Amino acid sequence: MSRLLAVAFILFCFEVGIFLILIPWSVFWDSNLLLEYVSFLRPLVLHNFFRAGVSILGAIDIFIGVTELRYFLKSLRVVNRTSL
């Protein structure tokens, strides 16, 4: 069961990371319904530095996914060696 959770966590990290990298620079970010209700945040959220910060969080998330993938593959190699 822990292998399944590890794979799910790795896929989740990659998916969220890609989402956080791509969405701030898309049309969906500009036409956010939340910004219509909280209009005083609109200049902040649409600023390029804020978008870059969100994209950096996405890159960090992908880095975490890559690191977890390395540990997962390393643990699989150890299990395969001990089972032989």
Residue 56's pLDDT is 98
| Segment 54-72 mean pLDDT | 97
- Residues 44-53: pLDDT tens digits? 999 999 999 9
CA 45/CA 18 separation, integer angstroms: 19
Tokens of 72: 């997962």
Q: How confident is the model at residue 65 (pLDDT cuts 50, 70, 90)?
A: very high
Tokens of 25: 């620079």
Tokens of 66: 């890559």
